[in-house]
Structure 1
């Protein structure tokens, strides 16, 4: 007897695995949480295998689920390629997407992956720079859509999220205990003056151990436990971790993550990209509220 996989249910499963939860997957797929859960259950029943481990907090894959994920990604990629090539809804061209380095993670890779899947003939060029430069490039027509980190949003933009800044250091590091406390920041980093002001107000002496134009230099210095940095909660990269200082360091302010879109270009893929960005940050807000 020939049996066929339910690609709709398979897409829900892969999206849950990629986004890390049913809530985020439901938002990305424009479905309810219950609909996604039902599709996952139906897929498990059709295969006769448990795909998700639901015993702990959050969602994790069983060994059978890990195996299916590999197959599922290939099947969906082939399905999407066939649809794109065999229909007349494909688009061609290029979009330029500007993102500050400190908010590339956790959402941007999945946004890029999803856009490439849904618009395979469109080239998306990601440009990473600091907020002021990205806004200048948008005004000059050099980028089509940008994300920014700011303390307020201009009238033509929209705020996607308000995030807390936190102190970060090396895993298990002690640099934050030293006085003066050594800091590592890019010269143009918006968060640097905020961090310095917070330390000054708290009466904590500091010195700039790294003053550079390179994000990699900052990451290397912090991960080596030579300095401390401040960044957006939830965007901490590998080899660094939030500092559990127990109140020994001052609280940092919040920052807005805003999105701006060019008005000189009107095309469905650009609007679709903006929608994917909104959904990614909307899913994050739902997950935060659920916690």
Structure 2
């Protein structure tokens, strides 16, 4: 009986909410860096499509510096950005602060080579800047063995033991290990994942922003998207 009553209440809430919240229709132009576009957006967009089927979301994947320019040019309504911990973008709302770690292949030996083979993202990436600063502070000799703008490319370099690479801690897979100072690797620090929303945001844009906020709130609590 209790289950039946709860189901009726649930149905009632669904019906009432349809009257309170009119169906929102529109197109939202969303920007995201490659790494979060690959890892997080599919989950976010799938759930959003279920709750807001009449809103179309057009996604642009690019570097954070380019996404910021697109926002300034009004070519995007909302974007995610990665920034170093010290230099958060003006007007950006921080969704997540996370450690950047050195990732290596499980059982690999790339971190023992001299000079250190490093796989890096393109210029302007917060993770790249932090990693190079850390190597510079330690006076560690390194060579750029692999460079890619895409998460898949970084993973390939790590998994084949060609190089070590700076990654957010939550990006480490089961076949990767975090390399620490005891492994001879310097501490990199943290970065921010932030969100910028157009100041004159429409109802559909605000709905997407709220959905992204909720997704990262769950991630902060559970460690899962």
Please give the secondary structure, in 1, of the residue aligned with 2:182: coil
TM-score of the superposed pair, with normalisation by structure 1: 0.64
Q: Is the 8 A contact 1:92 1:122 kept in 2?
A: yes
Is 1:133 the counterpart of 2:69? The answer is no
Task: Count matched residues.
Answer: 215
Q: Which segments of 5 or more consecutive residues in structure 1 lack a partner in the other structure?
A: 11-79
Aligned to 2:178: 242
User: By percentage of residues, which structure has more strand?
Assistant: 2
Task: Map 1:116-131 onto structure 2 (within 5 A).
Answer: 116-131=49-64
**Superposition RMSD on alpha carbons, in Å?**
3.2
Check conservation: 2:92, 2:195, Cα contact below 8 A: yes
Tell me, yes or no, if structure 1 residue 175 matches structure 2 residue 137.
no
What is the alpha-carbon distance in structure 2 between the residues aligned to residue 174 and residue 100 of structure 1?
30
Answer whether contact 1:84 1:119 (CA < 8 A) is retained: no
In 1, the alpha carbon distance for the partners of 2:116 and 2:132 equals 11
- Ranked by relative contact order (alpha carbons within 8 Å, sequence separation 6 or more), the top structure is 2
What's the secondary structure of 1:120's corresponding residue? coil
Aligned CA distance change for structure 1 residues 212 and 153 (closer, same or farther; 3 Å): closer
Distance in 2 of aligned mates of 1:264 and 1:229: 39
CA deviation after TM superposition for structure 1 residue 241, in Å:
4.2
Distance 1:150 1:192, change over 3 A: same
Alpha-carbon separation, structure 1, partners of 2:152 and 2:170: 19
The secondary structure found in structure 2 opposite 1:234 is: helix
Q: State TM-score, norm by structure 2.
A: 0.80
Q: Does residue 165 of structure 2 align to residue 232 of structure 1?
A: no
- Aligned-residue offset at 1:284: 2.8
**Partner residue in 1 for 2:88:** 153
Distance 1:230 1:5, change over 3 A: farther
- Tell whether the 8 Å contact from 1:148 to 1:258 is kept in structure 2 after alignment: yes
Between structure 1 and structure 2, the one with the greater Rg is: 1
Residue 122 of structure 2 corresponds to 187
Gaps of 5+ in 2: none
Deviation of residue 213 (structure 1)? 3.9
**Is the alpha carbon distance of 1:230 and 1:190 closer, same or farther for their aligned partners in structure 2, counting shifts above 3 Å?**
same
C-alpha spacing 1:88/1:167, structure 2 compared with 1 (3 Å): closer
1:103–1:232 contact (8 Å) kept in structure 2: no
- Distance apart, 1:102 and its partner CA: 2.5
Q: 1:197 aligns with which of 113, 116, 133?
A: 133
Question: Deviation per CA, 1:45-76, whole angstroms, max 9, x where unpaired?
Answer: xxxxxxxxxxxxxxxxxxxxxxxxxxxxxxxx
> 1:214/1:161 Cα in 2 relative to 1: closer, same or farther (>3 Å)?
closer
- Name the structure 2 match of 1:95: 28
What per-residue deviation string (whole Å, max 9, x for no partner) do you get for residues 202-237 of structure 1? 132111001344443332222211111101111335
Distance 1:89 1:191 in 2: 42
